[in-house]
Amino acid sequence: MKLVKGSVVFTLGKPLYGSEGLAAGALALGTRAQVFVGETKAAFSVEIKPAAKASPEKLLALGGEFLNEALNHEYRQRVVRANAPLTQAVFAPLFAKGFPAVPADPLEELEPQVKADRAKDIGDLLAQARGMS
Amino acid sequence: MKAVVRLPSVDEDALLGAAYAMTAAAFVLVSRKGKGGAVELWPKKGAAPAALAAAFRREYANQVLRWSLTRDGLGLRAETLRRALLLAEAAGGRTQAPQASLTPEQKAEIAALLAEADADAGPKDPLGIARPWEESRKDR
């Protein structure tokens, strides 16, 4: 963290820090400061400008609060992702029970091409969704 | 005054975990460079930067072990959980078979023990230690 003209500035590297972590940090500061974010391919640059004039100690505390909140968010997300197999073990049976197989669609029964087209569409959507994770 | 800890090769989960553990005592910024990583720690109040750096290194070693154990046993725990839920489902969500009830002889024995405990006046108190303070003052 560096103090520059009444603001505190720092750089957060990707992918350790993501935009959601930055949002969490900004949310923690509320109305006490304005947060400006710049972005390059490799990092975010952040400037925090307090709502009222602040001492150097107060500026560092504002920046630090932002940093800790962003870190808190990133680490929690990581723990959630790491425990995904446990979450799946709990939820998969519930979803399987809650969404039983639907009866055959008469339209698909009459026209096999409809079934083939739908299967392709679903496959494309699933591939797209998997690519987002 | 800040402390900077650089590690030549890091486990990223452990790095973040250790950094997170330090947030009570310091403001923390984490960064990566190649296989390595670095942490900058600004003490919140009172803590010496060198002490923070040492605490971070200890916490990092701890987190490396914790994450390693977590990853090793994760599949096994997930499978155990899945099977436990299947068993619960097969049991209809009911609790296990009720405990066998007590025999008349056991009930009589318990009643006798309770009666004996009720009849016992408790230990003697010749020095009046168990008496409330107000009562002990009345005697004077």
Q: Is residue B33 part of a domain?
A: yes
Query: Counting Cβ atoms within 10 Å, is residue A9 exposed (0-12), middle (13-18) or buried (19+)?
Result: middle
Q: How far is Cα A101 from Cα A106, in angstroms, rounded to an integer? A: 15
- Percent of chain A surpassing pLDDT 90: 68
Interface test with B, best of A2, A68, A77, A88 (most B CBs within 10 A): A68
Angle in degrees, 0-180, between the axes of helices A84-98 and A56-82, rounded to the nearest 10: 60
State whether A72 and B28 contact (CB < 8 Å): no
Beta-carbon contacts of A22 under 8 Å, excluding residues fewer than 6 positions away, are: A12, A35, A37, A44, A46, A70
Q: How far is Cα A72 from Cα B19, in angstroms, rounded to an integer? A: 9
Question: Which residues in chain A are closer than 8 Å to B19, comparing Cβ atoms?
Answer: 71, 75
Q: Is residue B131 part of a domain?
A: no
Give the model's pLDDT for residue B103: 85
A85-119 pLDDT tens trace: 999 888 888 888 888 777 888 888 888 899 899 99
Q: Assess if CATH 3.40.50 describes domain A2-82.
A: no
Domain housing B65? 3-90
Q: Is residue B81 part of a domain?
A: yes
Residue listed under structure tokens 């303070």: B133
- Residue of B17, B23, B85 lying closest to A90 (CB–CB): B85
Give the model's pLDDT for residue B96: 62
- The CATH number of the domain holding residue B58 is 3.30.1360
Give the model's pLDDT for residue B39: 96
Q: Is residue B78 part of a domain?
A: yes
State whether A16 and B71 contact (CB < 8 Å): no
Q: DSSP letters along A5-40, please?
A: TTEEEEEEETTTS-HHHHHHHHHHHGGGEEEEEEE-
Number of domains in chain B: 1
